Amino acid sequence: MSAGGQSGCDVLVVGEYYFDLIFRGLPGLPKLGTDLWAREFDWAPGGAYSTALALTRLGSRAGWWCRFGTDIFSLMIVEQASSDGLDGSHFIHVDHPLRRVSAAFSFTQDRGFISYSEYPEPFPVREDLERIRPRVLMLQGLSLDPKWLALIEAARSMGIIVCMDCQNTEATLSTPGMIQILGSVDVFLPNATEACAVTGAGDVESSLGILSQYCRTVVIKCGKDGAIAMRDGTRYRVPALAVEVFDTTGAGDSFNGGFAHGLLTEGDFADALELGVICGSLAVTGYGGRNLPFKVDIDRYRRKRNG
């Protein structure tokens, strides 16, 4: 096992890569005994890649804690990361295959995945945080592993802002350790489906209220409806941009990158939330988040919006 250099960063993204195979123009949802033919197909780097790319394009120094193997999927993702200018200082390279693949069936309103992953992703530890010293730790998933909680507590003790996505966890508020993990992070970032599943509530507004009892800042990504949030008892709502939806794969990860960048650069929480929505909205205009904006695009959009 080998790792790259030891450079610091503004945001350390911790999460797996996925090699996304994206099928568009399907006549319906996959069903047993039925062959479906897509009208369009492409591949794109998925998972935490979109978050790291969003941060990089906006001008944040983004580190990505991710492990790669000797398989073709790992090699292609690493090559694409280099082409996109991502910092590979925190990549971990192992001398065996490490395949992580998702087949995405993409529709205008939403998408689904069939995924496969080999080996769990290793967690950073306190010594890694002390060496890297990020300002924000972006956790792309939720885990109840004691090592996950130890990582969060170490980050908080060092003054690092901890943001945590949900990523289709099976845990609910009644699962032992769930309330503790929610109370340990600064920001919880589920999507609407995940928020309702975790809380058992029937709608996102109710889910937001429930989750806010345990976490200081909760942001729920609502797809075509933008995002809603609660921070210290104040509710926020930001609508999505009026864009033509091409592929929703990676929209939530793209939102995370814009939001984390906004936490470090915007003077107001509402502006950080808006930046996340802008990134998530523009991500759906191309395959797998390829249309993520650069800083100049954000500046141009805001000038136009403000007249």
User: pLDDT per residue over 147-159, tens digit each?
Assistant: 999 999 999 999 9
b or e along 214-240 (b: 16 or more beta carbons within 10 Å of the residue's beta carbon)? bbebbbbbbbbebbbbbbeeeebebeb
Residue 172 lies in a domain: yes
Residue 35 lies in a domain: no
pLDDT band at 249 (very low <50, low <70, confident <90, very high): confident
Is the pLDDT at 110 greater than 80, yes or no?
Answer: no
Percentage of residues in the chain with pLDDT exceeding 90? Answer: 72
Residue 116 lies in a domain: no
Span of 33-37, 62-66, 89-93, 154-158 with lowest mean pLDDT: 33-37
Residue 295 lies in a domain: yes
The answer to whether 204 touches 195, Cβ cutoff 8 Å, is yes
pLDDT in tens, 182-220: 999 999 999 999 999 999 999 999 999 999 999 999 999
Domain containing 141 — which CATH number?
3.40.1190.20
Residue 127 lies in a domain: yes
Percentage of residues in the chain with pLDDT exceeding 70? Answer: 96
Give the predicted TM-score (pTM) of the model.
0.92
Is the pLDDT at 247 greater than 90, yes or no?
Answer: no
pLDDT in tens, 79-108: 999 999 999 999 999 999 999 999 988 776
Residue 72 lies in a domain: yes
186 token code pair: 């600064």
Is the pLDDT at 167 greater than 90, yes or no?
Answer: no
φ, ψ of residue 24 in degrees (nearest 5) = -120, 160
In this structure, are strands 111-117 and 136-139 parallel, antiparallel, or unpaired?
Answer: unpaired
The pLDDT, as a whole number, for residue 108 is 64
Torsional class of 283: left (φ above 0), alpha (ψ -120 to 50), beta (otherwise): alpha
* Distance of alpha carbon 253 from alpha carbon 108, whole angstroms: 18
Q: Which residue has the tokens 């039925």?
A: 34
pLDDT in tens, 40-52: 999 999 889 999 9
302 token code pair: 């805001």
pLDDT band at 6 (very low <50, low <70, confident <90, very high): very low
The pLDDT, as a whole number, for residue 142 is 94
- Count how many domains the chain has: 1
Range of the domain at 217: 2-17+48-98+122-305
Residue 31 lies in a domain: no
The pLDDT, as a whole number, for residue 109 is 66
The pLDDT, as a whole number, for residue 2 is 38
Average pLDDT over the chain, rounded to an integer: 91
Is the pLDDT at 289 greater than 80, yes or no?
Answer: no
**Which CA distances in Å does 103 have to 21, 24, 123, 206?**
5, 11, 26, 32
Which one has a higher pLDDT value, 134 or 33? 134
Torsional class of 294: left (φ above 0), alpha (ψ -120 to 50), beta (otherwise): beta
Residue 132 lies in a domain: yes
